[in-house]
Structure 1
Amino acid sequence: MRIPKFKDHIHPIVVEDDKLILSSEFGQQLLTGKSLIQVARYLDGVKSVDDIIQHLDGVVDAQQVLYVLSVLKEKKYIFETKHKLSVSESAFWSSLGVEATVVQKNKEQARVRIYTYGTAESSNFIRQMNAGGLPVVGEAENLAVILTDDYLQDGVLEKARELWYQNIPFLICKPNGIEIWLGPIFRPGKTACFDCLIQRLIANRDVEVYLKETGKINTPLVAASSLPSTIDTSLSTALTELLKFIVLGHNEQLENKMVTIHYGTLETNKHVVVRRPQCRVCGTPDTDRIPENIQFQSSPKSFIDGGHRSVTAEETYNRFKHLISPITGIVNKLERITNGDDVLQHVFISGQNMAIKTNNLQSLRKNLRSNSCGKGVTEIQAKVSAIGEAIERYSGVYRGDEPRHLTSFKALGDKAIHPNDCMLFSKKQIADMELWNARESFFNVVPLPLDENALIEWSPLWSVTRNEVVYLPAAYCYYSHPDNGGEHFFCAPDSNGCAAGNTLEEAVLQGFMELIERDSVAIWWYNKLKMPELDLESFNDDYALKLKAYHKSRNRDMWVLDLTGDSGIPAFIAISARNDRTTCQDIVFAPAAHLDPSIALRRALTELNQMMPSMDESLPPGQYRYDDPETVHWWQTANLENQPYLSPDTRRPKSTADSFAVPRFTDIKNDLEYCVEVVKKMGLDMHILDQTRPDIGLHVVKVVVPGLRHFWARYAGGRIYDVPVKMGWLPAPLNESELNPISIFI
């Protein structure tokens, strides 16, 4: 260092003969020492080291001068003044720890090219670049900027891919709108690519997707809310971030992130962009892979959180909270819908249900009003539950990078599972398909019979009971699969058996419990069985008793029925009805199942909490905050007199916490081994589809046990007729025409 000087962002102030304060925007530092003060007086950017030594001859020894300079340099307080930058620019970069000479060199080596799309213009940006001493080129660029009025604008994706394949880093910016978008900066081979971002953007723009697919629009709906000042400020900010990338060689604020600035509120948010290992541009998709032999691993039960968990809810939340974003997330919001002061009912919604395909106005309307939802005994449990459901739904949507095999049912032979062995529509339902589908019920759509010779895509599942790979139609395993439309509509995918977990074992257990829950509900509901009440006091659960009292305070009675059947796994349904009127009793219900009856009870009660926000007491009787026609019709017409099976069977003793002979284990692995044996004893098979997405990391599975029944209207022969007789609940099976005519609507 020939001519040293305090860095331009530092103000040196001598306060005493042996004390020096270095002041900057970031605070102050006190340095002490008489020799330090003497040297500091000559650090003016004019005098060389030799000059300083000469001026201090006889005052400070030369070696001491060199020592002081070395200490100041090591602490990055001084720098070499030989550069062409202005004082303010030098101060900016020195505050970031960059020498002015490095700034000059990196700026001179940058060759930036600008691309514009839509209504975006480059003139202001070029002017600002020229003022900042940054060259703009028309070819042979080593860095690019894409300015666009919308990230989905025509041509942007193609240019982004071209730059990626040419190994050219680039920054993208949307300077228009009251909320501007800045970034990410894409670095080929090091960050997520633009395709990774686009996949998330499209997933969060349901209305535009619908409008484009139906031909209502051809281009994106561009944000028009801008001022000349907001455009200039946006471009200036973009240029600053570009310069930081050029000078520093990286930009942690915009690599794998984008920033939004809302000029109406000055709110600034960061949105994480996740690199997708399965991406066709920057990843390595493997659509031919076959599921491995699933061997359940040890997963000790460390916490009880709506089920047995291996980590706390807080840990899970911190691990996945980066997925919350209306732009780049799969959880586009996390919003409490119960009163914040309510210590019993914690319910959160986590954005639109991504499992609902918006290919018509009805499904669009359903999607806009349907949200992934989470509940829990505590607020953090409810948040994690909502995030988990959003991830579960997202993971079940077909995207084209899933393992699949093109063949026919007959060609697969005994390794193929017929979709109706899982759906269980009766021959009469299929014959009356037009009548069923004319109801336009979202829950009870009857598909066409499968053409067993047709070439369709099949998803591989691992059969735990058969110890081999089996196949189900991909259109049954994933929402929005292209095989499942028009004349090829041969199955109705649903979320039954789908679950998320911190480990594969957690997810499989939760998925199987859902199958038991819904099978138990179907047997009870469609046979209109009177079932025993659960003795809540026997559980020694203050939460259950407090919740019952809460319902009482709202002129409601709450009780829980025991639906446990031949599996022996505790299955309950919580029910709440108004007690201040005999008609329009606003009856809500929520089921749950679990090996631990205490957990099954908690899950049913918290699920019931999820239903309660629709019951707005400020509205007149018969009006609600939810407008699904089937649900509203039930609330308006059902009462305990015309639906007597909802009331407990008072002829039978109440079930208590000790009524269930289910073994207790300390490891989820042992729970699963027990469940597999239960399935075998019922004469059924258990298959597992791993839907875990590499870009998410939370385990998601779909557990399939053909023969266990969804609680929607599925009337084929089997357990719905056989179990009531087997358990002694009915003397003989009902006929299909005798089943409950009301289809379940949740």
Structure 2
Amino acid sequence: MSRKILIVGDGLLANYVNQQLSVHYPIIHQNTLEEPLPENIHLALVLHDGSPPSIHHEAEEIFRSANIPWLRGFTSFGEGIIGPYVQPNTAGCSLCADARRFIAGFDQKEMWELQRKYSLKKDAAIQRDVCATQTGLLQMCQLIHAETERILTEGHTSLAEELILLNMQTFQCSRHSFLPDPLCPMCSTIPDDTEAAACLSLQPSFKTNAESYRCRSIEDLNTFLTKDYLDYRTGLLNGKMQHSLLPFADVIVNMPLLLGNEGVAGRTHSFRASEATAILEGLERYCGMAPRGKRTNVHGSYRELEDTAINPLTIGVHTDEHYKKTDFPFKPFDPDYPQDWVWGYSLSQNRPVLVPESIAYYSLGHRDAFVYETSNGCAIGGSLEEAIFHGILEIVERDAFLLTWYAQLPLPRLDLASADDVELQLMIERMRTITGYDLHVFDATMEHGIPSIWAIAKNTKQDGMNLVCAGGAHMEPLRAVKSAIHELAGMLLTMDEKLEANKQKYEQCLRDPYLVTQMDDHSMLYGLPETEERLQFLLNDSRPVQSFKQMNQLRSTDKDLTSDLRHLLDQLHHSGLEVIVIDQTVPLIQKNGLSCVKVLIPGMLPMTFGHQLTRTTGLQRVFTVPMELGYINKPLTFEQLNPHPHPFP
């Protein structure tokens, strides 16, 4: 039996497609979706010469309820747009495609707002695009005809989760894949967040080789990372740039957001590996911004939920002094105030626990937020275990950095020549030659014994930044140092230029610490020579130098990364520190076997940016750990903490 096609539309494009397809298929042609839906339709085509205001939304609802697959074609701002091919009960609809196209495209905020306003005009006439010539529409007709033939004869088309974009003036044609929006109001199928789903059991996760702490090779990852996630018109990430002037092979990838763009970096010794790393960093941020893998459905006060919820005060809050300010953006925690909670899993208690949603996802910024939260502890990996492993290391690194800063710990300096590692020496020399900065590294390992370092790049030139700091943590101290070098080398030259252009601003920050409000302000402030005295507790050369062999080593030769993860957990548990994991994995990374988590370690110092947003209240370790480590003979007091903004970049 011939397959019946429904064509909806009253312009030239609909007529052209009707003429071509009617030779081989029975066609029912309707001008609008308001007419009764015919029976036994195998495929619907919704075709217009301009941008229909709300028709595609209506088509989604009508054809989904009738179980009819459909394909659209229309013109918008000088482009012909064909696709996606939408099948009932599957993710990846026209709303998803439009969202990706607008956010990844040029002038995303303005275009999104224009589309939103236009879609509200239910009865607006569809105006033919000024660039929609007969020749251009005929070209679109040929493309739609070909895709329709594939659908009806072969049962598939490449236009599932894909668009064809045709320049109506040059006729340049390109295909662009897009990812379904997990929060799409039309096609999202993400499950509810439940206590049962939060349960996790650590499984073996084998390393790619004996020298690696990853479970998927770069070669494996590169088979899908760029293809699935990087597209300049519809991608979750929409642009990349190689930095050829920096000491190492840095790649910056652009992550488009509705209100702007955010750069994410990959820093390795090869551009190919750096691109993969940057894409993974972008995916990690996407997963950590909002709950897109599970639908939050627990709402209540801490007092109502305290049997299963963490005490929010154990993760550190702001001072009462700041909460009392009229312009402070957060309100103090109230145990009787109802808020949204998500399920995490305590690897210490081996049970699910509830975590405030505003802590588990750092970009929500909603009325429930009682603290400023960052991506601290978020990590992506080729397995759940790999993601948890690296999430722990990030928290350890930042806790060590902040504890060193607030307590002004005179850390032992590391003798870099004692590492007996050729690559490290070459990295140090290359950074010095290209940037003009010397490297100073200090052992910042805290009471739990997980190796941590603090690194300072000191300028030898007459201009540019004076000092730039970074941190690192790893089972192998050498890897922590190399990670910090990559971080520093990727920033130095651009920071030099920024300081010279904005020196007056940072001189004002020197006089008023509460002018340090942005992430960059923290590191840029310490580019001023006047701030070097604030780091004399580290730079003082009177202390003995420590070799790498003297530093605590947790180096592992185990082929299973999960064994290394358990080692980290043991180190933390023996110090009385609980590890909680929130699974942030979303469908669009799960399909490629990736996992993303947020790790929380209550009691450890969370990294914050903006001096007024410091979170030390409720965290006793900043007062007691310096004594445990032997730096002082009694606990610190709040008044003894370093009053200056931290220099973390």
Equivalent residue number for residue 285 of structure 2: 393
Contact residue 532 and residue 648 of structure 1 kept, 8 A: no
Which amino acid in 2 is paired with 1:113?
Answer: I
Structure 2 residue 241 is the aligned partner of structure 1 residue 345: no
Equivalent residue number for residue 307 of structure 2: 414
**Which structure 2 residues correspond to residues 279-678 of structure 1 after superposition, within 5 A?**
281-282=186-187, 284-290=189-195, 291-303=197-209, 308-321=213-226, 322-336=228-242, 338-339=243-244, 344-352=247-255, 364=259, 367-368=260-261, 370-399=262-291, 401-431=294-324, 433-434=325-326, 437=328, 447-481=330-364, 484-486=365-367, 488-553=368-433, 554-581=435-462, 585-615=465-495, 628-636=520-528, 639-645=531-537, 647=539, 649-657=541-549, 659-662=551-554, 664-666=556-558, 667-678=560-571
**Which structure 2 residues correspond to residues 687-698 of structure 1 after superposition, within 5 A?**
687-697=580-590, 698=594
Equivalent residue number for residue 160 of structure 1: 60
Tell me by how many angstroms 1:473 deviates: 1.0
* Distance (Å, rounded) in 1 between the aligned partners of 2:240 and 2:589: 17
2:615 corresponds to which of 711, 714, 727: 714
Tell me by how many angstroms 1:685 deviates: 1.0
Structure 2 residue 146 is the aligned partner of structure 1 residue 244: no
Tell me by how many angstroms 1:206 deviates: 10
Equivalent residue number for residue 123 of structure 2: none
**SS class of match (1:695):** helix
Equivalent residue number for residue 118 of structure 2: 219
Contact residue 372 and residue 386 of structure 1 kept, 8 A: yes
Tell me by how many angstroms 1:501 deviates: 0.2
TM-score (normalised: structure 2)? 0.82
Structure 2 residue 619 is the aligned partner of structure 1 residue 729: no
Contact residue 110 and residue 246 of structure 1 kept, 8 A: no
Contact residue 358 and residue 366 of structure 2 kept, 8 A: no
Query: What does the per-residue CA deviation read over 1:396-417, in whole Å, with 9 as the maximum and x for residues that have no partner?
Result: 2325643441221001123222
* Distance (Å, rounded) in 1 between the aligned partners of 2:221 and 2:299: 37
1:702 corresponds to which of 586, 598, 604: 598
Tell me by how many angstroms 1:709 deviates: 0.7
Contact residue 6 and residue 43 of structure 2 kept, 8 A: yes
Per the alignment, do residues 575 and 743 of structure 1 end up closer, same or farther by CA in structure 2, a change over 3 Å counting? closer
Tell me by how many angstroms 1:196 deviates: 4.4
Query: What does the per-residue CA deviation read over 1:515-557, in whole Å, with 9 as the maximum and x for residues that have no partner?
Result: 1000000011222333222222232333322232233323222
* Distance (Å, rounded) in 2 between the aligned partners of 1:205 and 1:630: 32
Tell me by how many angstroms 1:395 deviates: 1.1
Tell me by how many angstroms 1:605 deviates: 1.5
Greater Cα shift, 721-730 or 467-476:
721-730
Tell me by how many angstroms 1:649 deviates: 4.7
2:7 corresponds to which of 86, 110, 113: 113
Contact residue 533 and residue 648 of structure 1 kept, 8 A: no
Which amino acid in 1 is paired with 2:295?
Answer: E
Tell me by how many angstroms 1:638 deviates: 5.2
Equivalent residue number for residue 64 of structure 1: none
* Distance (Å, rounded) in 1 between the aligned partners of 2:554 and 2:282: 31
Alignment length, in residue pairs? 604
Tell me by how many angstroms 1:505 deviates: 0.8
* Distance (Å, rounded) in 1 between the aligned partners of 2:171 and 2:545: 63
Greater Cα shift, 707-716 or 147-156:
147-156
Tell me by how many angstroms 1:349 deviates: 2.2
1:254 corresponds to which of 159, 165, 170: 159
Give the aligned CA root-mean-square deviation in angstroms.
Answer: 3.6
Per the alignment, do residues 628 and 292 of structure 1 end up closer, same or farther by CA in structure 2, a change over 3 Å counting? closer
Tell me by how many angstroms 1:499 deviates: 0.2
Tell me by how many angstroms 1:710 deviates: 1.6
* Distance (Å, rounded) in 1 between the aligned partners of 2:231 and 2:397: 32
Structure 1 alignment gaps of length 5 or more: 1-104, 116-120, 359-363, 438-445
Per the alignment, do residues 255 and 217 of structure 1 end up closer, same or farther by CA in structure 2, a change over 3 Å counting? closer
Greater Cα shift, 327-336 or 311-320:
327-336
* Distance (Å, rounded) in 2 between the aligned partners of 1:678 and 1:325: 42
Which amino acid in 1 is paired with 2:547?
Answer: S
* Distance (Å, rounded) in 2 between the aligned partners of 1:406 and 1:129: 53
Greater Cα shift, 539-548 or 125-134:
125-134
* Distance (Å, rounded) in 1 between the aligned partners of 2:241 and 2:51: 27
**SS class of match (2:545):** coil
* Distance (Å, rounded) in 1 between the aligned partners of 2:470 and 2:595: 25
Per the alignment, do residues 162 and 209 of structure 1 end up closer, same or farther by CA in structure 2, a change over 3 Å counting? farther
Which amino acid in 2 is paired with 1:541?
Answer: D
Contact residue 372 and residue 389 of structure 1 kept, 8 A: yes
Query: Higher relative contact order at CA 8 Å, sep ≥6: structure 1 or structure 2?
Result: 2
Which amino acid in 2 is paired with 1:685?
Answer: E
Identity across the alignment (%): 23
Tell me by how many angstroms 1:700 deviates: 0.3
Query: What does the per-residue CA deviation read over 1:28-61, in whole Å, with 9 as the maximum and x for residues that have no partner?
Result: xxxxxxxxxxxxxxxxxxxxxxxxxxxxxxxxxx
Equivalent residue number for residue 97 of structure 1: none
**Which structure 2 residues correspond to residues 5-44 of structure 1 after superposition, within 5 A?**
none
* Distance (Å, rounded) in 2 between the aligned partners of 1:347 and 1:300: 28
Tell me by how many angstroms 1:651 deviates: 0.9
Query: What does the per-residue CA deviation read over 1:327-355, in whole Å, with 9 as the maximum and x for residues that have no partner?
Result: 4432222332x11x76x51222222375x
Tell me by how many angstroms 1:254 deviates: 1.4
Greater Cα shift, 164-173 or 525-534:
525-534
* Distance (Å, rounded) in 1 between the aligned partners of 2:263 and 2:29: 48
**SS class of match (2:465):** coil
Greater Cα shift, 702-711 or 261-270:
261-270
Query: What does the per-residue CA deviation read over 1:602-642, in whole Å, with 9 as the maximum and x for residues that have no partner?
Result: 21122223323524669957679x99555544434555345
Tell me by how many angstroms 1:277 deviates: 8.0
Per the alignment, do residues 388 and 166 of structure 1 end up closer, same or farther by CA in structure 2, a change over 3 Å counting? same
* Distance (Å, rounded) in 1 between the aligned partners of 2:21 and 2:399: 68
* Distance (Å, rounded) in 1 between the aligned partners of 2:194 and 2:106: 31
Per the alignment, do residues 471 and 576 of structure 1 end up closer, same or farther by CA in structure 2, a change over 3 Å counting? same
TM-score (normalised: structure 1)? 0.72
Contact residue 145 and residue 172 of structure 1 kept, 8 A: yes
